[in-house]
Structure 1
Amino acid sequence: MKIHYINMLSTLLFCTSMAFTQQINNSAPNKNNNWEKFTYDLNSIVGGIGHAYVRPLSWEENQVGLFGGVVIGTLGLYTIDDEADRWFRNQEPHIPKLIEDYGWYYGNPQNNYAFNGIVYLTGLFTNNDKIRRTGVLMISSATATGLLQQISKSLVGRARPRTGLKKNDFRPFQRNSDFHSFPSGHTALAFSNAHALAKQFKNPWLKGGIYLLGSIPPLTRLWNGAHWLTDIALSVALSIATVEAIDNYLDKRYGNPSEQEKLNLEKRVSWRLVLKTSGVGVAMNF
């Protein structure tokens, strides 16, 4: 998985260098020029990633309080990590294979980026600025969380539950993936996508459906003993914080979408679960 992130980052940096070579500035791009919009969006993606990483330096009092709440909540979950692991792993035999397959494939980096790219390119080539901005948010959020979780896995070196080792067994800088439990990459990618998408809609049922689909990959990682409950919880918190930070940054680049725009997008977008013998997926129709 690490190689995939390096390849994706290299591609992103190459495209961004092309944008700077073309001397595209930060002014709003020509709405009739897809190349200008594309290069502007690449700059937005890189800027959004950087903003997400430095955002904690400018947290206000309420955001520091939320961080403290996450820490306290995580410590509480840590006390039941062992019990939660046993309970979730006991559920795996009862989970339909289609659900497990969906959780694995959607949380996979290649598939995740492919979906994000489809959303972005749909907005770009249909001249739909709302969908295009959503694609930018999804790509930048996935990249920011993806790179951070890859670094954290090596630094923390927490043993996975399925190794049979204890929840407090930490061995930093191990190449062995058995010691890459924290945080969960599948969770970070899937839930950052879910939160970025859900923010675009007002309908609570639609938002709930998106979050439900985004919750399946984290659950599959608990069912198969790949992660502890605290790994999943902190990955979800990381995803939400990253999306919020980048979304605020993009507001300055693209403007804040109005409630009417959200309602219009709900009317244009429909979702359906696709079940096939070869696997399971989600279709989004514009």
Structure 2
Amino acid sequence: MQNKSSFANTMKKTIALLFTAFSMGVYAQDSIVAPTEKRWDMFKYDFVNMFKGVGYSYARPFHWKGQQWAQFGGVIAGTGAVYLIDDDTSRFIQNQKDGVPQVIREYGELYGSPENNYIATSGVYLAGLITKNEKLRRTGVLLISSATSAGFLQQVLKSAVGRARPVAEKGKDTFDPFNSNRNFHSFPSGHALLAFTNAYAIGKQFKSPWVKAGIYTLGAIPGISRIWDGQHYLSDFVFAIAISIATVESIDRYLDRKYDEKYNAGAKKMSWNLNFGPGTLGVALQF
């Protein structure tokens, strides 16, 4: 037990250091110019933007128009389609667990937890604050506010929906809203949501689809690990990914008005497409 705990602590530190080092490396080519503001003033400004960014993301549905509602309908339809085959996909993914390397299993479990998530994202922000790098600070603000917004929403949904986890062995159609037992907190997946929120925010910095794909794959592993551990169904994972993307996109738009540094300054939009075929079901996301 002690060896396992030691390994887990080592993994936590390694993940946090790699995440911070990777994020700093993204901006290594940027000149770090010390602005006239003091770090305390920067921190206060950033903290206010974190708080307001969360509020902005929650207010967005009240301003949606036809296209946004169509995208939301696509997400619901896609999640519903995956829900229909949850039992089969859950069994299939769980059967693959033994073939997954132990280091990937540990990574999937540790990185998606709230504690480790905030260690990593706070590290990115503090690095930007210490070096007075606005782009890195902005990334930290985006990461922290997105994780806070999406994380709180998933906690509310988990309780309100009350879906039984696969390990409860009650089937995919069992719901008991506001049951405090964690076995009824399956929908959506918190690990998937937090990990992919980080991945999507970092991936926005790159234009290469190959780099994006690699980052998104790393961000998806924690959510998938929860499926092969019997803690979530595939539809829990799919809906969590949708929340992550929508939250990051929303807060990123808000931060565009607050910082000079912008990511992908062109039109920011996304669309969902459902692909059906003989024996196949796909959900394609364009960004």
Q: TM-score range by the shorter chain?
A: 0.7 to 0.9
- Over 3 Å counting, the alpha-carbon distance change for 1:242 and 1:84 in structure 2 is same
In structure 2, list runs of 5 or more residues that go unmatched: 1-34, 266-287
Deviations 1:228-255 (A, max 9, x none): 1111000000010000110001111114
Q: Confirm or deny: 8 A CA contact 1:191 1:215 kept in the other structure.
A: yes
1:53 lines up with 2:58 in the alignment: yes
Q: Give the structure 2 partner of residue 167 of structure 1.
A: 172
CA distance in structure 2 between the partners assigned to 1:161 and 1:142 by the alignment: 25
Q: CA deviation at 1:32?
A: 3.2
Deviations 1:189-216 (A, max 9, x none): 0011111110112233322221111010
Q: Confirm or deny: 8 A CA contact 1:187 1:218 kept in the other structure.
A: yes
Percent of pairs with identical residues: 51
Q: CA deviation at 1:92?
A: 0.8
SS at match of 2:257: helix
Deviations 1:27-80 (A, max 9, x none): xxx643111110000000000000111101101221111111111111111111
**Aligned counterparts, 1:1-286, within 5 A:** 31-255=36-260, 257=262
Q: Confirm or deny: 8 A CA contact 1:158 1:172 kept in the other structure.
A: yes
Question: TM-score, length-normalised on structure 1?
Answer: 0.78
How many matched pairs? Answer: 231
CA distance in structure 1 between the partners assigned to 2:147 and 2:249 by the alignment: 12
CA distance in structure 2 between the partners assigned to 1:175 and 1:215 by the alignment: 27
Q: Confirm or deny: 8 A CA contact 1:89 1:224 kept in the other structure.
A: yes
Q: Confirm or deny: 8 A CA contact 1:31 1:37 kept in the other structure.
A: no
- Over 3 Å counting, the alpha-carbon distance change for 1:31 and 1:213 in structure 2 is farther
CA distance in structure 1 between the partners assigned to 2:129 and 2:209 by the alignment: 27
Q: Which amino acid aligns with 1:200?
A: Q
Q: Confirm or deny: 8 A CA contact 1:145 1:239 kept in the other structure.
A: yes
Question: TM-score, length-normalised on structure 2?
Answer: 0.78
Kindly report the root-mean-square deviation, in angstroms, between the aligned alpha carbons of the 2 structures. Answer: 1.4
CA distance in structure 2 between the partners assigned to 1:108 and 1:75 by the alignment: 26
Query: Structure 1 segments of 4 or more deviating over 6 A?
Result: none
CA distance in structure 2 between the partners assigned to 1:248 and 1:184 by the alignment: 25
